Amino acid sequence: MYIKLLYEFEQKEKKLREKEARIKEIDQELQLKNKIASLQDEIEALKTAISGFEKRKLEIQRDIDENSDQLKGITELLDSNKLKTSKEVKAARKTKENLEAKEEELKKNLEFTESAIKEKEEQIREFESEIKEIEKQIQNMKEEMQELEKEIKAESEVLRKEFEKIAKSIPTDILSQYEEIKESFPYGAIATIDSGACANCGAMLPLETLEELKESKGEKLVRCEVCGKILYFPEELK
Ligand SMILES: [Zn+2]
């Protein structure tokens, strides 16, 4: 049952290939680093915007103080009875009204500016926690990769030794034929037969081929005429 030995060996090899494929995948996923860079750019832009709003906030606060001083002055004047004519009183009242309206408007502006700052700070916090999350993911992937690399190294060594052992029990001509065919199919040169068809390409196999396979009892290399893989008739399917 040489073919069986080789087939079973290839199944183990496939698991190793899957791990190698996962490493390539992780390599791709590590592009997440670019995402961090663009988030950091956004944070910088937000910080610039915040400093603009902070400046504006100080200006508004100064205006409010100034306005409040003027309002205090005019209120004192109105309470002081220093105003002689009703015209003067009326003018002072009008000024007071205007100052009050201005105060109202300035406070609204202040509120708007403060909430803009708050909003941007909140966004920065969100981006920062997103960056932390990505960094954690990257760390995990790196650990997974190191683990896989270690496993692959150990398993390849085991497989190499196992193949040496298998090779000893297989006639050299079959072994060299197998190795030659394997060069075209590094991910597995042997295909099983499924309901009379090649499990690799689906081609129906001629009856003679099936007969030949049964008779050879897995000690001869019979290839699929369509895809070229070595055919294997598992014992349990016969
Ligand atoms: Zn085939």
Collapsed DSSP state (helix, strand, coil) of residue 191? strand
- 68 Cα–ligand 1 center, Å: 91
Q: Which helix (H) or strand (E) holds 190?
A: strand 190-194
- 183 Cα–ligand 1 center, Å: 16
Mean per-residue pLDDT, 130-139:
95
- 190 Cα–ligand 1 center, Å: 10
Of 212, 194, 210, the residue nearest 202 (C-alpha): 194
- 141 Cα–ligand 1 center, Å: 37
**pTM of the predicted model, to two decimals?**
0.65
User: Looking at domain 31-168, which CATH architecture does it have?
Assistant: Orthogonal Bundle (1.10)
- 205 Cα–ligand 1 center, Å: 8
Ordered by start, the domain boundaries in the chain are 31-168, 172-237
For the ranges 27-31, 97-101, 169-173, the one whose mean pLDDT is highest: 97-101
- 170 Cα–ligand 1 center, Å: 24
N-to-C CA span, the chain: 14
Burial class of 152 by CB neighbour count within 10 A (0 to 12, 13 to 18, 19+)? middle
Of 174, 189, 209, 148, the residue nearest 16 (C-alpha): 148
Residues less than 5 Å from ion ligand 1, measured at CB: 198, 200-201, 203, 224, 226-227
pLDDT tens per residue across span 14-49: 999 999 999 999 988 888 889 999 999 999 999 999
- 213 Cα–ligand 1 center, Å: 14
- 166 Cα–ligand 1 center, Å: 25
pLDDT tens per residue across span 198-227: 999 999 999 999 998 888 887 889 999 999
Residue-averaged pLDDT of the chain: 93
pLDDT of 84 reads 87
121-126: long-range contacts, CB 8 A cutoff, minimum separation 24: 121/50, 123/46, 124/43, 124/46, 124/47
